[in-house]
Structure 1
């Protein structure tokens, strides 16, 4: 909502010296979002005056008509002599008053005015159009002022209202009253403690002389109040006065015609949308009702629209003539010959208007106000104000009859403790503060129980005030949010992060330290992702929850794996020139069981749920394990002056999973596996050691290189690798953390090279070495893998470095050698390994 300061002052006497920025700061403090303060006319400088055209000489011999004018500008030019000005406009005559920019003036866009020779004549200034001054978009001709508007030589800035400050307010859905000059003026009056002149109350009440145009309302649920007023003898050719055009232009509304401009002007003034019909085009009584299936209407934008039974319609005997609160029909619109006009003002149901506006993709100034909630009692005043302006400016005669269908019900009082706002804000407001502030809002307040209880009836223009907390907010915002002390809560001793939270932070820090970047993706997916991941038809990951109202029709399901979001994020990064990418994400996946209901039950709110209803809700909630996943592409180690780099391979994905395990204090065992979406020959299953399951292990995830078909489906770089681990299972596998003992004695290192079949995993050999080496083994690491003629076909050599240390003594060479031999013997027994000579 754009609010010109000059228009606002018509309804509230702001203190002297208050600027638009001062007012903006005060309004922001009470909850209105003032985004900008525009200084209109600041780009127009220099002498801009009223002139009277004395003579016009028509110049010939040019491609377009040119006129040479003598214009009286009074004493504004310093000499009192008429100015000679060349002008191409045709919409004025001798004797008209116009706006003249004298030499030295500057118009919007940096257009400087000076005396210059053009079309063979010296032009001593410029006769201005509304577009050239930034007053409106009208390029059809120059501004012709009304007779007697001002004397020649008068300052045109004041005559045109050219300079003004305009507040641009972003009105939130709960403050629909601020979509009017009336609403913002009421706020300004309260924050400055000055009187407010309600434009709705200043309108003279109609003197009924019989019924107006016949109308009925089929259902009070869709329209609680309906008003019609009419005029006759209206001159549709009368232009809108310049002051009205200027005010509409400042609030962002285009001037169209006098009748339409008046309805828009009253809407901006009072917040009540109006509609004007050509009475000659109406056919019989008007009815407000819901649309019927199959009805159609051609609206003012020349689009034939299929109507929905949820739409509210205005109809006559010919059928629909308006989509109520959104847009009028083409057949009954005001034309240049309309002389009899019917003005409509109504209070339509906000939810219906909001749904209709979205359904038909028609967002108008009218629908914006209806869907936020308008004053339910201003309709008669708005219609009366509109017909009065039609009479004053368009020469019409107001019909005495009034149609006023009132199906509204009085608002019930809200009972609140007088200190409710104090308890909500944590501030001891003085006694009587709540009652005083609520009366400033416009509420009717009745004090009971010696002022301890308030019975509050919210005003008709505040439909958002429905419960005690709404009323408390009104008191608090007027008392000042800035006066609420900031007291940080104190955490009770002994409470901090849960073990799960500490684990997630530790895992995130570990992967970030390893060079990964965390991302957050939407938890939505689609069947296309399941196909791209090469999941078979019976795969459990294809069983997903479907959203009732998805954001994207291509992703209507809740994810069952983190990989689709990560792969799409990787593709976006690669597409923007980042070829070396390492990403990870921690989040929930949603795994409904095969017996889960197709839809979640919708429980009523009129009572508490029964045990059976709670059980049905629980049954519809899917299992939601927390997982962590990572993807890598490009160079894992970049090349540079230090040497050649290294691309990311399947082992890096496994190492990322091991980083997760190390951060959690859990050892992960790696075994070859076949599991989509990984390459069947480069896929590893990850097991947590020492937990439930076969051989005391539990499957926690997979890692490796993605299948080539998956890479092609997503457009990934070649050899992209990934891992996904179920973090909840890793947490369940954690043992009690014991601080490691640090030995001060030296380490003894022994290297062994073992020859095994090529099919034997190195992890099994390492596990055998650990079990055989005993308590003296501190660590074991694989440092070389060799295949070739020296070890034989289908064989490989694995070289390990074993570190031995005792906590209470220095190991002898014999002890270290014996431990190494025991480790080799265990590897030979379990994996068939032979010591390489």
Structure 2
């Protein structure tokens, strides 16, 4: 919100020596963030000049320029007339104009423009005669600014103007404008009135509310006013879309009448472009008081006006000439008894009732609309208008009549209109609800001792009515503060008006806690272990399309059924939530390889979606209302399962080549080893077994599982077709493990074992089995048969050769035994080994070599 300082002085006693910097600092002290300070975009010398002569000179290009002699007094240092070339033709000798002399600077959209004496069209032009747009005080660029016409209504001022007079203060180009950022809860500050009130709070300066006088002069509603009906058959949160509608009629307006220079200047300083008198008046009132208005061409309206919700299939051409399909949630202004939409309430008017050059009579609308309804319509139609910005933050419910009266006064005074005596004022806005607050509550919350008298004074200063009942204050907020609904809201007001700088900075003592949860500790351990193994952690966006599942060789229909489709995806090509980390991790691998990194090792810890296929719609509740426990349970039940996974991707060399020797490419054993290392770090026994699942190579894929057979995930080499489809390096290896399964397994108490000094005893055994028998099955049988004294078991050799029958292989294991209480004898070790071999023979058909 841009607030011209001179305009603000009308509402609050700003000291004459106060600068924009001072005012901005005072506003910051009460919570209004400074966005910037602005002044006119001209630096001198900019002076008043009188045209002495104008000689038209046609040019070969068909253009006619004027060679002018302009009296600028002593401003040029010589007192001689200034020779200037001008391309405009809307002035005559004797007119007073604005001249920028060499050395002056104009601010243009392209940047600063320094004016200098230069030769053009055969003359040396020593300066420039300026237009409104060049000076930044209007939008007229067709002709220069003629002061005789601009100040035609101020003859005394014109009489005082002489050539050489400084034009910067004359045109208000030296006046400052303070720009503040208005937070959503401070909608009343979207007006000069609101910001001036805050300046009064900050400095103690006397604030004069213009609404008091306007309310006193506003006539009471009559029976003969323009008929208006409020019919909201679909209120939001139980609140009618429009709870007050004031209509005033002004007849006989000269719409071609110029906007008063002071009003045009204020609008420009506030960041709005002057358009026409009726439009400028409504904008001026909105900026000044905070109440958006709309002007209808009365001749185009057919009574009665009806405020209602849109019907299915209705359309409206708005003032921006866009034909818009209306939604049944849109609140509309309609005429003909509700048959024809003429405006989207609080957002934008319709073209059919626009005030134009033929307009003579206007109807001024000043209404109060429900914020949520306006906000939804503005976003639905992508129309963030100045009106909607104010309505969606909450407009003063008691402001409509005063704002309409100010608009009527301005149209009568400057447009020559006559106001109808009849006034329409229908609807009754809900009164603000009183808020109860314990007397000492602000002190408890803010940590500052606020005496009761100060609390009451501050609340009354911001417009509240305060009464005390026992130890509780009953606070009735003012109509312009719809954001004050709870006791903490009132505490915030007390703290900011008293001064945020009065709140001491005290480092709180952290309470004793339980530290990280088990799941957090597991995630940190996993990340540390993988980083220690040389992998880099990445994050990938969890959105995919069905084509990615196809590229991974998965069952597309099954994956889509397990996934969740986004109602409003960031990209139409990625409307699904991922069911696997690898579906999105491959993008990170591909990006690294494309940028020249050949050896890549990545991991990601993230959530995936694992829907059971059943779609349970989540119930919705209105904003601002806490859902019931039943509704919350239903919402939670509708959320699909989201397990946390670990994704692994390795490409290129795992061991790099160098002076120390040849390198080694990453292969399936590396991801198997990573799974084993993670299990050891978490104290979870994991094992691997051959498997065949997508997207892995069918002969180079391993299933990772717990000792009880619970599947943790899969690791292996990606299928060559997957590698080709995704553009990945050849022989890329990958893995995906369910971290939630590992987390639950790691919750079991780890039983510490007492170290023993008794010696270990080792025994090797070679077993011949069929090629189809997996080593993990043989290992499991040996462990089961060896008994509790088996300390470790490892496969150290696999043999295929002519010494074995076709279709057979030899697996050599080393068994290590150790007893906690004695030294094992040779016979005991032999017996334990034989028991293990017997178990392997029974379970897998193994034969000892």
Are 2:200 and 1:179 equivalent residues in the alignment? Answer: no
Give the equivalent residue in structure 1 for 2:11.
Answer: 11
Give the equivalent residue in structure 1 for 2:242.
Answer: 223
Are 2:386 and 1:368 equivalent residues in the alignment? Answer: no
With over 3 angstroms needed to count, the CA separation of the structure-2 counterparts of 1:144 and 1:607, relative to structure 1, is: closer
Instruction: Encode CA deviations 1:529-571: one digit per residue, 9 max, x unaligned.
Output: 5555544488588335566666666666655443434344445
Task: Supply the distance in 1 between the matched residues of 2:797 and 2:15 (Cα, whole angstroms).
Answer: 86
Task: Supply the distance in 2 between the matched residues of 1:66 and 1:823 (Cα, whole angstroms).
Answer: 115
Task: Supply the distance in 1 between the matched residues of 2:666 and 2:569 (Cα, whole angstroms).
Answer: 36
With over 3 angstroms needed to count, the CA separation of the structure-2 counterparts of 1:475 and 1:765, relative to structure 1, is: same
Between 1:531-540 and 1:25-34, the stretch displaced more is 531-540
Contact 2:3 2:178 in 1 (8 A): yes
Instruction: Encode CA deviations 1:392-430: one digit per residue, 9 max, x unaligned.
Output: 333333344322223223223222212222222233222
* 1:288 CA drift (Å): 1.7
Are 2:170 and 1:159 equivalent residues in the alignment? Answer: yes
Task: Supply the distance in 2 between the matched residues of 1:201 and 1:310 (Cα, whole angstroms).
Answer: 36
Instruction: Please give the secondary structure, in 1, of the residue aligned with 2:217.
Output: coil
Query: How many positions carry a matched residue from both structures?
Result: 822
With over 3 angstroms needed to count, the CA separation of the structure-2 counterparts of 1:754 and 1:38, relative to structure 1, is: farther
Contact 2:647 2:736 in 1 (8 A): yes
With over 3 angstroms needed to count, the CA separation of the structure-2 counterparts of 1:275 and 1:788, relative to structure 1, is: farther
* 1:675 CA drift (Å): 2.5
Give the equivalent residue in structure 1 for 2:236.
Answer: none
Instruction: Encode CA deviations 1:282-332: one digit per residue, 9 max, x unaligned.
Output: 233322222223322211122222222222221222711111111111111
User: Please, which of 215, 218, 239 is the counterpart of residue 206 of structure 1?
Assistant: 218
* 1:171 CA drift (Å): 2.8
Give the equivalent residue in structure 2 for 1:287.
Answer: 306
Task: Supply the distance in 2 between the matched residues of 1:87 and 1:753 (Cα, whole angstroms).
Answer: 106
Are 2:507 and 1:509 equivalent residues in the alignment? Answer: no
User: Please, which of 745, 756, 765 is the counterpart of residue 733 of structure 1?
Assistant: 745
Tell me how large the CA RMSD over aligned residues is: 4.2
With over 3 angstroms needed to count, the CA separation of the structure-2 counterparts of 1:51 and 1:230, relative to structure 1, is: farther
Give the equivalent residue in structure 2 for 1:301.
Answer: 320
Between 1:674-683 and 1:535-544, the stretch displaced more is 535-544
Contact 2:549 2:556 in 1 (8 A): no
The TM-score normalised by the length of structure 2 is 0.84
Task: Supply the distance in 2 between the matched residues of 1:614 and 1:110 (Cα, whole angstroms).
Answer: 59
Task: Supply the distance in 1 between the matched residues of 2:827 and 2:2 (Cα, whole angstroms).
Answer: 88
Contact 1:656 1:723 in 2 (8 A): no
Are 2:74 and 1:53 equivalent residues in the alignment? Answer: no
* 1:181 CA drift (Å): 1.9
Give the equivalent residue in structure 2 for 1:116.
Answer: 118
With over 3 angstroms needed to count, the CA separation of the structure-2 counterparts of 1:208 and 1:808, relative to structure 1, is: closer
Task: Supply the distance in 2 between the matched residues of 1:7 and 1:573 (Cα, whole angstroms).
Answer: 58
Give the equivalent residue in structure 2 for 1:69.
Answer: 68
Q: Give structure 2 stretches of 5+ with no counterpart.
A: 152-156, 233-238
With over 3 angstroms needed to count, the CA separation of the structure-2 counterparts of 1:395 and 1:69, relative to structure 1, is: farther
Instruction: Please give the secondary structure, in 1, of the residue aligned with 2:198.
Output: helix
Between 1:154-163 and 1:205-214, the stretch displaced more is 205-214
The TM-score normalised by the length of structure 1 is 0.86
With over 3 angstroms needed to count, the CA separation of the structure-2 counterparts of 1:618 and 1:261, relative to structure 1, is: closer
Q: Give structure 1 stretches of 5+ with no counterpart.
A: 690-695
Aligned pairs (5 A) from 1:591-740: 591-593=610-612, 598-600=616-618, 620=638, 622-639=640-657, 644-689=662-707, 696-711=708-723, 714=726, 716-734=728-746, 735-737=748-750
Instruction: Please give the secondary structure, in 1, of the residue aligned with 2:520.
Output: helix
Contact 1:255 1:261 in 2 (8 A): yes
User: Please, which of 386, 396, 399 is the counterpart of residue 378 of structure 1?
Assistant: 399
Give the equivalent residue in structure 1 for 2:235.
Answer: none
Give the equivalent residue in structure 2 for 1:104.
Answer: 103
Give the equivalent residue in structure 2 for 1:693.
Answer: none
Task: Supply the distance in 2 between the matched residues of 1:278 and 1:543 (Cα, whole angstroms).
Answer: 58
* 1:67 CA drift (Å): 0.6
Instruction: Encode CA deviations 1:25-55: one digit per residue, 9 max, x unaligned.
Output: 4444543343x314444x6433111222222
Give the equivalent residue in structure 2 for 1:692.
Answer: none
With over 3 angstroms needed to count, the CA separation of the structure-2 counterparts of 1:267 and 1:791, relative to structure 1, is: farther
Aligned pairs (5 A) from 1:25-36: 25-34=25-34, 36=35
* 1:386 CA drift (Å): 1.9
